[in-house]
Amino acid sequence: MTALRPLILVVDDDPQIHRFLAPALEAAGYEPVRADTAAAGLADIANRPPDAVILDLGLPDMDGKAALQRARAFYDGPVLILSARDREMEKIEALDLGAVDYVEKPFHVGELLARLRAALRQRLSHQGARAVVHAGDVEIDLVKRLVLRAGEPVRLSPREYELLARLVEAGGRVVTHRQLLTAVWGPANVDDVQYLRVFVGHLRQKLETDPAAPRFLVTDSGVGYRFVAD
């Protein structure tokens, strides 16, 4: 029974968070494990590697970023960041360090669980799945490198396709500016965020019903972009 329930480690120093997150995770079919400090969390990861980690950045004993870095030495599962709005930089740095996504406090439990599901799905898709993604009337086939809108092929430049593919592959998770720029333009262009604006604009023109109010290619202000599929 327990083997079927994914193990989720929650690292947060606020007992009130555990108080509602534990029952919520249980109700959603996960097995929550509680850690109040970064040190305890790291010990838990080492002893019993969880399927995913929910990590608060504002921990009393260690910078959340530093904790993530240490965990990465022996853990490659998805890490979801809990953060406050005023810790923007830390959040981005954590994502660049390999956290899969983030949720800002205060948050709806439903939103957190949706991000958690996406993160876990991503882990499963590594084994090779979901080659075709649907979003509204748009269909993206990553194997055939084909993009269709209402059944008609959409012409994309190689760069536009690369960018879209990176976002689709992330499976609904946020991809930071730096990650996108490194993947599509190469490491020399990590600071040229304006490229991204232009190309995402092009993609929206070609794929979105209303490019001014995008539904699939969503901006995470100051952090990056995410592709929201059906």
Residues of the shown chain interacting with other proteins in the complex, contacts defined by CB under 8 A:
13-17, 19-21, 23-24, 27-28, 58, 60-61, 84-86, 105-110, 113
Which CB sits closer to other proteins, 63 or 169? 63
Q: 177 is written with which tokens?
A: 């500016």
Shortest reach from residue 61's CB to other proteins, in Å: 8
- At 90, the amino acid letter reads E
**Going along 57-211, which residue ranges are E strands?**
79-83, 101-104, 132-135, 138-141, 146-149, 152-153, 174-176
Q: Give Cα separations from 129 to 15, 20, 123 (angstroms).
A: 38, 33, 11
Residue carrying structure tokens 């490019």: 211
Q: What gap in Å lies between CA 182 and CA 176, rounded to an integer?
A: 10
Which CB sits closer to other proteins, 19 or 145? 19
**Beta-strand pair 79-83/101-104:** parallel
Which CB sits closer to other proteins, 24 or 148? 24
Q: What gap in Å lies between CA 210 and CA 112, rounded to an integer?
A: 27
Shortest reach from residue 63's CB to other proteins, in Å: 12
Shortest reach from residue 110's CB to other proteins, in Å: 5
Q: What gap in Å lies between CA 126 and CA 122, rounded to an integer?
A: 7
Which CB sits closer to other proteins, 110 or 201? 110
Which CB sits closer to other proteins, 37 or 189? 37
Which CB sits closer to other proteins, 54 or 181? 54
Counts for the chain of helices (H) and strands (E), in that order: 8, 12
Q: Could you tell me if 102 and 57 are in contact, meaning their C-beta atoms sit under 8 angstroms apart? A: no
Shortest reach from residue 84's CB to other proteins, in Å: 6
Shortest reach from residue 149's CB to other proteins, in Å: 34
Shortest reach from residue 172's CB to other proteins, in Å: 19
